[in-house]
């Protein structure tokens, strides 16, 4: 574990375990690298080098007042990969992290990148526009910001208790430990970063980024994702990249890397070995 200081003076916390081909994990909003525990231990055990960082304003990284946009997120990821001198890396991004991965590859090139994986990811564009009529209304994201500003702690209990992991679905048994760990990760970060981050993940259009990506890309998405709806995300991203494969998971929720870790890890490993 260590930190790298970015060009604008932000300390980015990262974990770097093992040796072998590197897998770099980019977490979702408003979490931290801890959200990848199930994946990092699994792939470490399979002989890979696993790296995950806390996005600026999240987890143990600097709680800066600004820079909470995809350009900075991508540049911060580049700072980590350059600092560690990673090559032939597989980049795996969940939710907002999927947008970060797409923007990083498009902005910084593929010289260090072997493959990419987008899991329940926000690209191509979440918010509804004239060009993206299937997106969610901007008011939905305005409401998220309002709930965060009113009582972040309560909001960070409600989201994992319900739609994030599908615990609001009939017959699904909620896990208090998973809910509490989501809340813990969220509350470690800064309210300002998380407030601004809602705009970053919902209003950034990744269409042109995706078109630039030539390395193999696996797009994994559950068709019961209540956070990033399936129809306007996964299938579109898989078509926009130049070498994409879509894997659809019937009934799986947004947080499937945690609740369905065995399935996700098995499929990730198969893609890495292919």
174 vs 56: CA distance, rounded Å: 30
Q: What are the φ/ψ torsions at residue 127 (nearest 5 degrees)?
A: -80, 150
- What phi, psi does 105 have (nearest 5°)? -65, -45
The DSSP code sequence of 195-236 is: HHHHHHHHH---HHHHHH--S-EEEEEETT-SSS-GGGSHHH
95 catalytic per annotation: yes
From 53, 72, 194, 254, the catalytic residue:
254
Q: How far apart are CA 211 and CA 254, in angstroms?
A: 24
Active-site residue among 95, 120, 161, 233? 95
- Which listed residue (34, 75, 209, 225) is catalytic? 225
Tell me whether residue 254 is one of the annotated catalytic residues.
yes
* CB-CB contact of 256 with 268 (8 Å): no
Phi-psi group of 33: left, alpha or beta (phi > 0 → left; psi -120 to 50 → alpha; rest → beta): alpha
* Known catalytic membership, residue 108: no
Would you please indicate which residues are annotated as catalytic (active-site) residues? 95, 225, 254
């Amino acid at each position: 574990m260590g930190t790298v200081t970015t060009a604008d003076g932000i300390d980015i916390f990262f974990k770097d375990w093992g040796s072998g081909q590197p897998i770099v994990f980019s977490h979702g909003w408003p979490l931290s690298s801890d959200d990848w525990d199930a994946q990092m231990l699994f792939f470490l055990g399979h002989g890979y080098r696993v790296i995950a960082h806390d996005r600026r304003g999240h987890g143990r990284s600097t709680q800066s007042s600004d820079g909470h946009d995809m350009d900075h997120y991508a540049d911060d990821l580049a700072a980590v990969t350059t600092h560690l001198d990673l090559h032939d890396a597989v980049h795996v991004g969940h939710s907002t992290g999927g947008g970060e991965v797409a923007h990083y590859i498009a902005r910084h090139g593929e010289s260090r990148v072997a493959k990419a994986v987008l899991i329940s990811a926000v690209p191509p564009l979440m918010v509804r526009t004239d060009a993206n009529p299937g997106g969610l209304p901007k008011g939905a994201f305005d409401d998220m910001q309002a709930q965060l500003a009113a009582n972040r702690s309560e909001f960070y209990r409600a989201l994992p208790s319900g739609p994030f992991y599908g615990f609001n679905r009939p017959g699904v048994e909620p896990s208090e430990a998973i809910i509490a760990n989501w809340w813990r990760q969220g509350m470690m970060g800064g309210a300002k970063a998380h407030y601004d981050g809602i705009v970053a993940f919902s209003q950034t259009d990744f269409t042109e980024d995706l078109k630039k990506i030539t390395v193999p890309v696996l797009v994994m998405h559950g068709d019961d994702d209540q956070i990033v709806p399936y129809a306007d995300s996964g299938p579109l991203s898989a078509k926009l990249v130049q070498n994409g494969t879509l894997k659809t998971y019937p009934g799986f929720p947004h947080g499937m890397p945690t609740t369905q870790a065995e399935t996700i890890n098995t499929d990730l490993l198969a893609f890495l070995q292919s």
